[in-house]
Structure 1
């Protein structure tokens, strides 16, 4: 899928994403997780070696945003269920925000992959957030993240995951594919430590 908002184009088409990762440079504003050059190498390596889907927001010169869906890490509890995939990150360089780039990245990513038999999770940690962009207002940033993810069909699900429980602003959002059986949903809720895991959707 390709879409265009002003000067920013968004794609999740694998051949094009591969070319962009090799020929375009990550914008200097993409530094929330590591140095932009290091993050670009990490994304390229994941794209080439792992079972991932990646969406890219780009201009004629730079990659200005990206989003990735990938398998859980081997040490995480989520690896116990083959249906689970992780929305790893959605990042847009500050000068290119407020152009619907983040929602376009998420839409492109979901449209490109077939996730109706999957459970997608997004683990949101306060220490990864760009709080400077909201004058340090973590509650506002959380609301913005929740709004973005809800557009993609995600909902908040309680979990006893230690990193989520470590800080009251941290949270988990989950997208249950339309074709996920109720028994798989129940198993996921039990795995997550959800206090209402006995309730079947």
Structure 2
């Protein structure tokens, strides 16, 4: 496996972290297996579900093992997925994953057997999706990896009509060249007869795969023409299935603050502004308080505006969500700009952010419930065991209007800094349970899929004293009736 060898070489010769993205229609099982317990490698595979296609693997619950838990990501797509659905789920999943993992280099595999004309698979993509793959990988590499990107070919079994065009697009994008609209005449004249010789067999193979190609001729342009592809009659249900799978993966693998920044377009908070909701009558909200530690005095500030956050910087030990302090800082700026988020910070007199609490509207998983907000907290590894977490959480949640809301916190063990804290998952669970209990949170048994994945995971909830009983009952029914993950 050339890709696994290349990744192993990077790991052996440097301390770099590698993100591997597999766009092939078949699950990237070989690379996943090679690095299944390696936390320095994140493998992401977007593929047709293994229910109907070799190798039959690539379930969402294949999350990694040991220290590599949470670094194996699989997005199994429904058969006959088309461009719009594919591009949607790719764009809502990849950017937040990359920001959270913070790789040093991206290696991508661009198998083009996802194309609608490929005889071996059941996806219905055109060159529009395949170009979107390339541009997405390219942009992520420049945004997060200083342009360090290795792209390779992969599967593709329509060797005349698809493979040459797609890999030309890949090279053109990487090298910054513009492709002409038309394919070179000499190339068409050479290879069109070769395709005609196997045309009947290719069309038969597609029909056997359940794909009735609307266009059975040789293309003369680099990009596919929309009228060459018949619409999929199950488009809506296929898109819904893919969207739910992507939402599930985001909930499991992407920390809540990053999910808020990279929100799914279909979900909008009914609130116009969380600030106004928590401060009825236009009362002045921003508060500050000094907290004394034996290191130095810390300033606590709530409802921090983006102008303030931009002037501050992240302490070197603040990296739980975005992995790198500078990216953590940008994440906090983006959170401060969101009207559906409330950001409370602890910072030094020199402007170093050493702790943060976010209060954010419950996202996709809690759709349909009212007044549900998620609480997350992080304290810099350089400022722990000073009482900052307890004081900061109390300061962030002291507003009386929070008694009108249901607040919850999800403790997911694959996000915990067990190595940095030097404790076991059981002890970490006990620590955060006690921390939130100090603010009236209680542990709730739940069948919520993410909590159910690991025994150490925990759901902590505080139901405000003024929450309507009907609203509370709906919430309690939801957490006790969420279907367990049994695989896709």
Please indicate, yes or no, whether the TM-score normalized by the shorter chain is above 0.5: yes
Determine whether 1:145 maps to 2:440. no
Alignment RMSD (CA, Å): 1.9
Select 1:108's aligned residue among 395, 403, 411: 395
Counterparts of 2:460 and 2:299, CA distance in 1: 23
Q: CA deviation at 1:19?
A: 4.5
- Structure with the bigger RCO (C-alpha within 8 Å, sep 6+) is 1
Q: Which runs of 5+ in 1 are unaligned?
A: 196-201
- Report the structure number with the largest CA radius of gyration: 2
Select 1:11's aligned residue among 294, 297, 300: 300
Counterparts of 2:399 and 2:308, CA distance in 1: 17
The answer as to whether partners of 1:10 and 1:104 remain within 8 angstroms in 2 is no
The secondary structure found in structure 1 opposite 2:460 is: strand
Determine whether 1:81 maps to 2:81. no
**2:340 alignment partner in structure 1:** 51
Counterparts of 1:49 and 1:90, CA distance in 2: 17
The secondary structure found in structure 1 opposite 2:403 is: coil
The secondary structure found in structure 2 opposite 1:115 is: helix
Counterparts of 2:386 and 2:438, CA distance in 1: 15
Counterparts of 1:119 and 1:169, CA distance in 2: 23
**2:362 alignment partner in structure 1:** 72
TM-score (norm 1): 0.87
The answer as to whether partners of 2:374 and 2:407 remain within 8 angstroms in 1 is yes
Counterparts of 2:330 and 2:429, CA distance in 1: 28
Counterparts of 1:112 and 1:10, CA distance in 2: 18
Counterparts of 2:400 and 2:312, CA distance in 1: 23
Q: CA deviation at 1:20?
A: 3.7
TM-score (norm 2): 0.37
Counterparts of 2:320 and 2:455, CA distance in 1: 21
Select 1:133's aligned residue among 393, 397, 420: 420
Counterparts of 1:102 and 1:71, CA distance in 2: 21
Q: Residues 31 and 127 from structure 1, CA distance in 2 versus in 1: closer, same or farther, beyond 3 angstroms?
A: same
Q: CA deviation at 1:10?
A: 3.9
Counterparts of 1:45 and 1:69, CA distance in 2: 14
